[in-house]
Structure 1
Amino acid sequence: MSHEHLDPHAILETLGLFDITVVAPVHGGTDTAIWRVEKAGTVYALRVFQKGEGDDCQREQVIMQAALAAGLPVPQVHAMGKWHDFPALLLSWLPGRPVAEELRAHPWRAWSLGLLFGQMQATIHTLAAPEVLCQQPEAWINWSGPDERLLQERLHREKQQALTLLHLDYHPLNVLTDGNKITAVLDWRNALSGDPRADAARTVSILRYASLGRRSILELLVLRIFEAGWRRGYEQKRGALGDMNLFYAWASVVMERDLATKLTQNELSLIHQWTLKWKKRIGCL
């Protein structure tokens, strides 16, 4: 989402924050616009949603408050409001930098960073989903789209019944670290309730998508070591994931739908090959 045509000072005043000393845009997000805000030594994050997304903004506020209450390293919501129909959240600014940046700066720590990354996702999956998410227990299955009836029937038969909290956008850009621990889990926009194996498969699909494009053999090796560390850390916390083929098929389908308008045809064809591979393995072609 572009920062253009948005007035962060006016938005902050709408949220009750005046006498700001620093307002700096944070680039990298696609669905929301984000600024780093300082006032009297306190640092905040201003997150502005697109017009008409008031329900999404309120839903994310409820989810983050529930996650914070459960002890997860999630930003505190200081204020929520609306400016010219743009919903906005004023959040605490948590320390650390994205795991992706830490991985680039210290690639030799891929395994240990992967362990931390996996352990935190496993911790998320120990939590029951908040009520706002439990009202749509099939939403994660339906995310695969109306043309995936056979896949959805298989997921209905195989799913776990407990309504676990799923992040569903858990990747190295949305997770912060200080190098020794995970300091923040950000962007809960996609969060749903459901089978934790779906969230784990979604993370794998995003990590594999990061391998698309021109990457050196060394970079690909670092990503694979990081992914292996993630799996070890996750399974240390919650036990073996088991047979994931069905969930990898679901995650590949979701990835195709999610990025259909954002990737080149060549990139989409690579993801489609993953989809076909997993569907073939589970007999869903």
Structure 2
Amino acid sequence: MEHAPGPVAAQGRTAQICSYGDDQVLKWFKESIPRLAAEQELAASRVAASAGLPVPKAYFLAEWQGRPAIAFERIAGSTMLAVLYRQPWRIVACGARMARLHIDIHRTGAGPDSGMPCLIDSLKRRIQAAPLLAESEKEAAIAALLKLPAGRQLLHGDFHPGNVILGGGKAWVVDWMTAVSGHPAADAARTVLLLRTAMLPEELSRLSSFVFNRVRAMLLCQYRRTYLRLSGLEQEELEAWMLPLAAARLCEQLPPEEKLLLHKLVQSELRRQPPLPAASF
């Protein structure tokens, strides 16, 4: 790196965002994030950019104080989540815009030559690593996962209002660290799962849970309605992914109350699954 990054402007669970020069920002990953994850984000950002998707330009990957960091084009604007906090009357428009943006991502192919990791493989590993799940729950979730279509489209992997920046009349998609190759229904289902269960971010903690839940429910309704209409997928195709997605999310660094909610969802989904066949000897 040519010079030290500026002060921290924002931070999430995996990285801090620092200013870097006049027209760049540095995504500085936390110590728990391996360099491979940063490399995957750099590669996915460039795949998305080459497909004409609205993503900040990724300049280079380096290290600062022993932690990986990516220099990105600076985007002036606010996250869609922050905009909704200030202007909740934009819920319907934002939900529809999210869906259209997600459809554009899913129109991008990501076959074996794209270098994108396989969603099915990723979910399987994460389900196996989920500490709250019993072995029988892991086996049932993986069995449900392996029945689902693989797909070869570009998936963002963590598409929600906090990863969409609105600025200059344009919507930009950021945070491609979990991008994979797979079926669009899985990515849309992940967004539905997040809008159903994710806890309120710390920076918006002043917003009452009642207001937040109302905003979230309305955003989810508009996003799902628009996405299903434009994609041609059915609601049942999204719901089929809920069990493996919720099970895999349990290995993420989440607040305890969110993990409890997800575990209850996994158990509810398991009760709807047909029993696994008995082993034969």
* TM-score category of the 2 structures, normalised to the smaller one: 0.7 to 0.9
Match of 1:238 in 2: 231
Aligned with residue 204 of structure 1, among 192, 199, 203: 192
The amino acid that maps onto 2:155 is L
Q: 1:84 to 1:17 in 2, by over 3 A?
A: closer
Match of 2:64 in 1: 83
- TM-score, L = length of structure 2: 0.81
- 2: CA distance between counterparts of 1:209 and 1:57? 26
- 2: CA distance between counterparts of 1:102 and 1:85? 34
Match of 2:265 in 1: 274
The amino acid that maps onto 2:217 is R
**Mapped contact 1:142–1:152 kept (Cα < 8 A):** no
Give the 3-state SS of the residue equivalent to 1:158 in structure 2.
Answer: coil
**Mapped contact 1:249–1:279 kept (Cα < 8 A):** yes
Tell me the matched-pair count.
Answer: 260
- 2: CA distance between counterparts of 1:135 and 1:204? 21
Give the 3-state SS of the residue equivalent to 1:187 in structure 2.
Answer: coil
- 1: CA distance between counterparts of 2:225 and 2:213? 18
Match of 2:279 in 1: none
- 2: CA distance between counterparts of 1:124 and 1:284? 36
- 2: CA distance between counterparts of 1:55 and 1:218? 39
* Higher mean C-alpha deviation, range 99-108 or range 229-238: 229-238
Match of 1:253 in 2: 247
Q: 1:211 to 1:89 in 2, by over 3 A?
A: closer
- Deviation string, structure 1 residues 131-163 (Cα, Å, up to 9, x no partner): 22256762234332264233223322221x431
In the TM superposition, residue 251 of structure 1 has moved relative to its aligned partner by 1.9
Match of 2:26 in 1: 46
- 2: CA distance between counterparts of 1:17 and 1:143? 37
Match of 2:162 in 1: 173
- 2: CA distance between counterparts of 1:61 and 1:231? 29
The amino acid that maps onto 1:168 is G
Q: 1:256 to 1:57 in 2, by over 3 A?
A: closer
| Structure 1 alignment gaps of length 5 or more | 1-13
- TM-score, L = length of structure 1: 0.80
Q: CA RMSD in A?
A: 2.7
Q: 1:83 to 1:140 in 2, by over 3 A?
A: same
- Deviation string, structure 1 residues 65-124 (Cα, Å, up to 9, x no partner): 110010111111222222343222111012321111111111111111000011111211
Of all paired residues, the percent bearing the same amino acid is: 25
Match of 1:6 in 2: none
**Mapped contact 1:198–1:250 kept (Cα < 8 A):** no
**Mapped contact 1:175–1:186 kept (Cα < 8 A):** yes
